[in-house]
A and B are shown apart, each in its own frame.
Chain A
Amino acid sequence: DAGVTQSPTHLIKTRGQQVTLRCSPKSGHDTVSWYQQALGQGPQFIFQYYEEEERQRGNFPDRFSGHQFPNYSSELNVNALLLGDSALYLCASSSLQKRVRGETQYFGPGTRLLVL
């Protein structure tokens, strides 16, 4: 079992550009959540996708958008990048069925984004 995988591992962009980050959930999981972890801070919830729809959203501007594909993988898109978007972006996956039994989310290693 490969667990949650994310690509790329590192990325450098300039202000104003757009970026797409990718996440493949753990086998058997159908829900993907995205978090932003700024340097020295705890992760902050961006949004969650289930059944290809955004189900819950944190306090992030519309520049942050996402998508979930039929195979449950997901993308995070950030438009008009700002210096403050530099962070580690974490993907977490979970299973609707397993949620009933209280199983929580599994995290990937993250994508480190640097905006210059």
Chain B
Amino acid sequence: AQSVTQLDSHVSVSEGTPVLLRCNYSSSYSPSLFWYVQHPNKGLQLLLKYTSAATLVKGINGFEAEFKKSETSFHLTKPSAHMSDAAEYFCVVSENFGNEKLTFGTGTRLTIIP
């Protein structure tokens, strides 16, 4: 069975400071891992994905994540937070490149302090 654990339910950072959202995964196979963002009253948007290529993955809006197999982690980072980054972020695992069932974490709410 596959699962993800998002280690923080809520993260607050000041505008212009770095963002770190933590995610650990569990999977019986070589997983595909994703980060999705959900703004209020909007659909889920894919930020980035890892599918067994480069371990450092760059996504949209300046976000990136590093796949660390030894630590079973896939943390999301951004060097400088912007007010528009305030949203709910989900770490997601899939065992077939994201084409089949996606298993979501419980989410991390990111608040940006002006």
Contact = CB atoms under 8 A, between A and B. Distances in A.
B43 to A, nearest CB: 4
30 contacts: A4-B43, A31-B99, A33-B101, A33-B102, A40-B107, A41-B107, A42-B104, A43-B104, A45-B102, A45-B103, A48-B100, A48-B101, A56-B101, A58-B101, A94-B99, A99-B97, A99-B99, A102-B32, A104-B49, A104-B97, A104-B98, A104-B99, A105-B98, A105-B102, A106-B46, A107-B43, A107-B44, A107-B45, A108-B43, A109-B41
B36 to A, nearest CB: 8
A56 B104 contact: no
User: What interface size band does chain A fall in?
Assistant: 20 to 34
Given A42-B105, A43-B104, A104-B49, A90 B97 contact: no
Given A56-B100, A102-B32, 19 more contacts: A33-B101, A33-B102, A35-B102, A35-B104, A41-B106, A42-B90, A42-B105, A43-B102, A45-B101, A45-B103, A56-B101, A92-B102, A102-B97, A104-B34, A104-B49, A104-B97, A107-B43, A107-B44, A109-B41
B79 to A, nearest CB: 25
B77 interface: no
B51 interface: yes
Interface of B: 32, 34, 36, 41-46, 49, 51, 90, 94, 97-107
A45 to B, nearest CB: 5
